[in-house]
Structure 1
C-alpha cells in the first residue's frame, strides 16, 4: 500500500474542538470552521493569510457554493455569508436545539439542517419562508445529505436509523427507513454516521459500528459491498473523490485511508490522529482535513502512482454487486460525433484522454460547480412546481406549470387533513382505512348545526358557505368523478344531490357561491350548476391546465396556465365571468407574481372583490376588475413587513383564510410549519398596510410622514373599490356612509401631511401638490387656514386659487 503524498501543515485555524472543512465547487477557496467565532477563508493558489469572517461561537459545520457560505452552530443558528464580500448576508433559520450538520442542495438553492431536534428543516435560501419539515425521526439528527439529483435527502439519526425522504412532491415523503447500517451515536460524538452519496447517484457509502464502510444501493436500499479491514477505530468522516473513483476515510485509529472504488481496496494510508473532517479538492489530486485540535492539513498527491490517472476519468460507476447494471452515466468520447451517438470508450482510451476530459458534467450528474447546477433545479423541491430544467441533449422539453390546488385545503398529515377553512367554518376528513369520515364544524354554532358522516367516496375537496357544503371526489376504478352538495337547512331531508362527470375526467378545483356550484376539470372544462344540480353553463377554459377557481354570488374567477415566460415557467393567468349574465369581465390576464412565485390562496373578500395571497406573503386585490382591460393587481398587505416580525424576533408565516372588514384573517404558523393542523388554531386579524417603505408599520400609528402617506394611499385604494362597486349596483345607506368616511380619512391624512410640509422652509411646492389631492372642497378651505397658521401667505394664496378653479368647474 503506497503513501507517498506530501503533507502540508499544520495551519492553526481554530481553537481545540469540533472543526469542519469544505472546498468551494470551483476549487478556488477552502473554508474551515471551528469552536471559535470565525470562518477561515483560504485561497488555494496562495500562501497568504486567510480571511477571517466573523460568525457565531461553537460552530459545527460549513458548506459552500462559489458565491455563498453557510455555517451552523450550537447556538441554534444557520447563517448565510457572501463569498465575495466576506460578510454576513442573513440568518437563514433557527432551530430549537443546537445545529449539528447542514447540506446544500445540488442546485445551491436549498439547505437542509440537522439538529438535536427530532425534525429536519429544509429551507429555500432566497426565500426562507419556503420551508419543508421532515418529522418522521424519533431521535436527534446527526447528519443530512442530498442525493446528486436533489430528489432525495437522507437523515442519519442518533438511534442508528437512516431516513430516506423523497423531495419530488410538495410534501416530502418518507420512502425508506434503513436500520442496521450506521452505528448508534450521540450528536456530540466524533464518530460519524454520515451518508456519502456516490456521484453517480446509484448508491451511498456509510460507516458501520464494526469500523467498515458499506455501500447501500438506491434500487432496493440493501447493503452491497463494503470497504473493510483497515480501520481499527470508529470512522470520523468519509468523502468520495469528485468522479467517484476513490473514497477517503478517517478514523479514531489515527489513519486517513484512501480506497479504490472499483476493487474496494485500500491504496494509501496516512497516519494522522484526531481527524474529524476531510474534503477532496474538486479538480486536483488533493485532500484537506482538519483535526479536533483546530488544525488544518493539506495532503497533495494523495493518490500516487499509475492509479492517480483514474482521477482524470469521467464519472465512475458506484461499486455494486450487479456490476453489469448500467450506470446512469453517458461516457465521454474525445470525438463529439461519437459522444452524440453514445459511442463508448474503453478504460484504456479514457486513461489516455486529455486533461480537458477531467470531471466533465456530460451526464448532468450534478458534480460541477453551482454555476452549472443552478441551471437544473432539483425536481419537486418547490412548494409550487415552477422549477425549470434545461433539457439535456436529445431530450424533449416541456415548461414547468402551476399545479392545481383547492383553496384553503391542506395535504394529508398522518391520517387527517382539512378539506376547507373559511370564516363560516371548516371541514376535515380522517382516513379510516376502508373509508373516510368527514366532519363539518361551524364558528357560529348558534346558527348552524355541526355535521359528521361516513365518506365512502373519499372526498378530496370541499367548499363551505352560509347555504351549504360542496364536496368532490376523483374517479376510481369504474367510478367517475362526482360532485356532492348538501344544503345546511336540509340535513335531515333529501335536499342534497350528486352528479357524476364523464369517464376519465378529474376535478381539479371546485367553488361554491350563493347561487352556483362551479367545478374545473382536467379536460379544461368549467362546469357550472345551480344549487339544485341543474347544469347551467359549460365552457372550456382557454388557458389550461386549470389551476384553481373561486366564486362570489354571480361571479367566478378561474386560474390557469398561460404562455411560457423567459424562465421556462408558465405564467399564471385568471379569467373573471358573470355566470348569470354570461359575461366575460377579464379574460386570460396575468396575475402579477414575483419571479418564481406562486399563489397560496384565491378568494373573494366580504365586499366581493377578487383577492390572491401569494407565496411571498403578499395579499393583493384586483382593482377595477369590472372594466375589461382596466384591472390591475394592487398589494394591500405584505406580511413580511409586519411589526411582529421586525428584527427577526419571530419565525412565523401565515395561512390565509379570508378577507373581511378590511383585514386579513389568517392562521399563524410557527416553527416552520407550512399548514395548520389539529386542533385548529385561532384566527388572527391583520389590518391592511400597503408596503410603501421597509419600515414596519405599527397598527394605529399616524404621526410620521410614512404612516400618513400609507393611510392616504390605502384609503384611496379602498375608496376606488367602493366606487367601482357603486357604479355596478345600488348601495345601501351604510355603504354610502362608509364612502364618506373614507373620503374624510383621506383628507384628514392629507391635512396632517400638509401641516408637516408647512413646518419646513423648502416644502411649499410639495404642500401645494398635497392640496391637489383633496377629495372635498371644504378640505381646501381648511388648508388655507393651515397655511396661514404657519405664515405661508404665498401658499395660502395659491390654495385660494385652487378653490376658485374648483368652484368654476362646479
Structure 2
C-alpha cells in the first residue's frame, strides 16, 4: 500500500488556513484568516464547496456538529457558523486575544482559553449560550479535551500542563505536569521579527526558492506555530505531549506516568506544530514540526512507519477514516491556502496493549458465549428470563419488544398492575386448549438486570453513570470494543479522580470512601479497586447458573456482597475472601452500611419485599426478613404515573432510583414515585415502619411557583440528617446527563400539604394585599407570577414542622439508644428538635384558641413535651379568655410533675 499525496489549492489568496473534520467524517471545514471558510465534501470531491464569510484572523476552528463549526479569533471573538442555513452566532467576546478552543461533552460545550487568565465554558445546546468562567494563574497557550473520560488539558505559556475533570459543571483540577512542553508566548507584533523569520527561512532553503511557496503573512513566526497541546487517545486513557526536547512523550491517564518516548530520525529536529492520535483505534500518532516534516509512529512499538517533508508551511492535521474500511487518510492544512491529503497512509489495527491485556486475562471469548452473548444493557433488559424452564430456548435469542411495557405479570389476577393491551395478550399465553379460555396458562416473566444505586441508562449517548451517591459517581463510556471508566468524587480535597480501561464490560458498581467494586452481570466477574494505590486490586469470578445474573453489588470498608437474580447472596471480606453464601428470594437491588445490608427482593408470586440484616464478625442477625416493601412500581399509565419514562423503565423495571443508608444508618429508598422513604424502628420487627419524609414532586412544584413542571427532576444521592443530597435535573430525561450539575440540597418535608389548599391560600393572600394596596411593582405587573417559590401558610407549615420534628426525633433517639453518639452532636440536635416540636405545636395551639376550639387546643397541649411550652400554652389560653382550658392545662402540668417525682 503506497500512500498517495494530493495537494489542492483552496484559497488562492493564501494565508493561515486551519481545518476541522466533522464527526461524520465526510465534511471538512477549511477556514482562512482572510475571513472565508469553505465546507468540502470529502466523499464527493467533485462537488463545489459551500463558501461562508467568517471573522478574520482566526486562531482555531472546530466542527461541533455535522452542520456547524466554532471559530475563534485574535480579536477575542467566538463565533458559531451553521453552513446548512448560512447563519452565524456570536457566542462570546473577550477583551484579549483567544489562543485556542476545544469541544467537550460531544460538542455540547466549547472551552475557550487565551490571554484573559481564565477559561470560559460555553454551553451550546440551549437557544441562548451560557458562559461559565474559571480563573487560571497563567495565560493559556493551547487546549484539548477527550470526550471519553471528560478530561480537559490546558497548556500554559510557562510550560505547565494542567488537567481538569469536566464530569461536573465546574471544572476540577486533577493533575499538573511541569517541565515537559516548551514554554512559549505568542507574538502579535507585525514588525521586524516576523520579517526576519521569513528572510531566515529564505536563506535556509535558497536552493529551492523557485519551488517553495513563500509565506508573506506577518503572523508567521515560530512562536505562533509551536504546538503545546496534549493529543488524546480515542479511548481517553492515554495522551501525548510535544516535549521541549523535540520528542513525543506518551502518558497514561491512570497515574499520569510516562509510558513511551517517541523520537524522530530527522537530521534537524525541531519543535512540533501539531500532534494527533488516529481516531479509529489510536494505534498511530502523526506529528508535524517547524521544518514541515511529517512523522507517523506506531506508538506502542515506538516505531516510525512513515515520514515526509513538505515545501508548504504546515499548520494543523486531522485523521480521516475511510468509509467501510480500516484505512486511514491524513489531511494537512498550510499557511499558503492549500490542503494536502495523504490517502491510504496506514491501515489501523487494534491497539496492541489492549490485545495483550485480553490474552493475559484468558477471557478473550468473554462476550461470545452463546448463553451470554454480548449486548447492551438495554437489550439485556429486554430479554425475557424464563426461570421455570417451561419454554425451550431457540438457537437465536428472541427479543419480545412488544412486551416491554408490562414487565410484571399479574398472574393471580389481584389487580396490582395495569391491565395489558389486548394485542399483547397472545405473546404471553400458551394455548393448551383451543376450545376454552381456561386452558390458557400464563408464564410469569420478569427481566432481572443489574441495578446500582443512582445508575442511569445510556439513552441516546455513549456514556452512562454506573452508580452515584454522596461520595461521587462512576462513568462508563462505550468505545468500539471496550469501555473506559472514570471514578470521580465530590470532595476533591480528600479523593483524586482516576480512570482505567474496562475490557470486560462492567455494568454494575458500588462506590464507598475506600474503593470501588465493579461487576459483570452476565459473566459473574467482579473487580475491586481501592482508591489508594497502597492497596492492591483484586478480581474474582462468581459461579452463576444457567440464566442467572448478578443484579446488585455492595462494598463497604468491612464487607462485600453480591446478589443475584436467583437469590444467592455471597459475602466476602474487603480482600475478596469468601465468608458466607445464602439463598433467599431473587434480589433486585441492595445497599450496605458497615456490617448492615439492605436488600430488595422481587418475585412474580410474592411481589416486592425487603430484608435487613447485620453481618458482624460475631454473628448474623436479621432485623427484617423479606417483609413487604410499600413502593409503587412503574405502571405505564399516565393517570397513575405521570413521570413514567419508558427508557428508564426498560433499563430499570423496578423504577428504584437509589437505595442507601442515612448517615445515622437508617435504610432509605427513593422509588418511581419520587418519594423518599426511611425505615423507622427497624431494629424491632413489630415496631418498624416506612415513613415518607420527602415528596420531591411537591418540592419541585413549590419551587416552580405552583406549576406542574415535567422538565425538572430530582435525582437522589444520600440523606444527611434532615437534608437530601441530590442532583436537580433539567430536561426531558429524569436522570442526570453530562456534565453532571453540582449537587443540591432539599430539606426533608413530610407530605402533608394539599396543592389546591396552598393555591387557594396564596390567592386569598394576594387578594387581601390588593385590597390593602400593598402589592409591589412585580405583582402589579404580573411579573414573577408562578416564577417564585410558593410561600406555605403558617398553619399548614406548622403541622408539617411538628410531624417532621417528631419523626426525626424518633429516628435519632433510636440511634442513640442502640449505637450511642456517632458524631458527638446528637444530643444537641435532639434538644433542638424538641424545641422545634413544641414551637410548631404552639402555633397550632394558638390557631385553635383563635377559633375558640378548646377541645382541639387541649389535644394539642397534650403533645407538648417541655414544661415551659405548657406554661406558654396557658398564657395563650388566658389571652383568648379560655379559662376552662387554662385550668385543664394546669392540671396536666401538675400530673406530669407528680410523675417525675
**What TM-score comes out, normalization by structure 2 length?**
0.44
Instruction: Point out the structure with the larger helix share.
Output: 2
**What TM-score comes out, normalization by structure 1 length?**
0.49
For the pair shown, which has the larger CA radius of gyration, 1 or 2? 2
